[in-house]
């Protein structure tokens, strides 16, 4: 009986850390709702993770944009 009271409920598969990491790597900031709805994350941790994901997504988007501009300039010089 005592074990039932102290045992934590199992997390759903979509709240596991490994799934959240893979989801972030695949779809980026679309993982934010899962982080905000995560039952065992504290509000401070949710805020920190949210800002980190937004900042990292911005940096990756900026790097992608600059690399695409560089590729476009390269192909315009090559005259394809």
Range of the domain at 65: 12-78
Distance, CA of 11 to CA of 27 (rounded, Å): 22
Question: Is 2 a domain residue?
Answer: no
Number of domains in the chain: 1
Residue 63 forms part of a structural domain = yes
The predicted structure's pLDDT at residue 6: 73
Question: How far does Cα 33 stand from its chain's mean position?
Answer: 10
Closest CA to 34 of 8, 62, 21: 21
pTM as predicted: 0.78
The position carrying tokens 């920190």 is 48
Average the pLDDT over 36-46 and give the result: 95
Is residue 5 a part of any domain in this protein? no
Whether residue 80 has pLDDT greater than 70: no
User: Do the domain assignments include residue 16?
Assistant: yes
């Amino acid at each position: 009986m005592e074990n039932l009271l102290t045992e934590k409920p199992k997390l759903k598969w979509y709240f596991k850390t490994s799934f959240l990491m893979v989801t972030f790597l695949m779809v980026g900031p679309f993982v934010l709702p899962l982080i905000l709805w995560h039952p065992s994350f504290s509000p401070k941790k949710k805020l920190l993770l949210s800002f980190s994901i937004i900042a990292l997504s911005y940096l990756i988007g900026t790097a992608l944009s600059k690399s695409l501009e560089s590729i476009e300039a390269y192909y315009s010089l090559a005259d394809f």
